Amino acid sequence: LKIVVLISGSGSNLQSIIDAIEEKKLNAKIECVISDREAYGIERAKKHNIKTYLFNRKELKKNLFNEIEKVISNDIDLIILAGFLSIVSSEFIKKWENKIINIHPSLLPKFGGKGMYGMNVHRAVVENKEIESGCTVHFVTNEIDGGEIIAQKKVPVYEKDTAEDVQKRVLEKEHELLVEAIKILEKDKKKR
């Protein structure tokens, strides 16, 4: 399975894919890692000799995905948004329909949509006195966090939890969930 990973931050989700591949738990190859800003995740890719591309979302603005498009070869099987914070253009989604997945740190459809990313999600979960949260891997469509759900994992939320407590508990599950979701899609690809 040929994959491309898009990041914007620390890249701990990227790291979980790298580790799974190196431990032979995932039969895939990361063709390249693409970031829309300076990100520690780029260092993680470099450490594993994975090709990286850095784009400047502030300069490129609406042109970001036209530039990203140029570095993704047509034989890519899966494009993974892993802690990626820019909105994907509708042209890009149209071209790569059903080959783009995203990992989101809540049990979608709850706590998803515009502005719901990173700590905002966990703060909302705590403020809402939720007794559970979790993470979701879904296909990317033009509706932010609205595409078909592939897999989810749940975590308990305790009364004394801070948003950071929830974030830490969810992030650990994200690392497992993302690899499991890629495996599900790899099996599907084999079937087709």
- The answer on whether 102 is annotated among ligand-binding residues is yes
83: left (phi over 0), alpha (psi -120 to 50) or beta: left
Tell me the closest approach of the beta carbon of residue 89 to ligand GRF, in angstroms.
Answer: 20
Q: Are 31 and 3 in contact (CB under 8 A)?
A: yes
Tell me the closest approach of the beta carbon of residue 170 to ligand GRF, in angstroms.
Answer: 6
- The answer on whether 12 is annotated among ligand-binding residues is yes
Residues 107 and 56: their CA atoms lie apart, in Å, by 31
Quick one: 95 or 152, whose CB is closer to ligand GRF?
A: 152
Quick one: 33 or 68, whose CB is closer to ligand GRF?
A: 33
Residues 113 and 154: their CA atoms lie apart, in Å, by 19
Tell me the closest approach of the beta carbon of residue 82 to ligand GRF, in angstroms.
Answer: 5
115: left (phi over 0), alpha (psi -120 to 50) or beta: left
Q: What are phi and psi of 158, to 5 degrees?
A: -100, 155
What does the binding site for ligand GRF look like in residue numbers (CB under 6 A)?
7, 9-14, 41, 82-83, 103, 105, 118, 171, 174
Query: Closest CB to ligand GRF belongs to which residue?
Result: 83
User: Any idea which residues carry the catalytic annotation?
Assistant: 104
Tell me the closest approach of the beta carbon of residue 113 to ligand GRF, in angstroms.
Answer: 15
Quick one: 83 or 147, whose CB is closer to ligand GRF?
A: 83
- The answer on whether 11 is annotated among ligand-binding residues is yes
The torsion angle over the Cα atoms of residues 191, 24, 167 and 42, rounded to 10 degrees, is -100
Tokens of 191: 């079937």
Quick one: 22 or 91, whose CB is closer to ligand GRF?
A: 22
Q: Are 152 and 134 in contact (CB under 8 A)?
A: yes
**Binding site membership for (6R)-10-formyltetrahydrofolate: which residues?**
61, 102
Q: What residue numbers does the annotated binding site cover?
A: 11-13, 61, 102
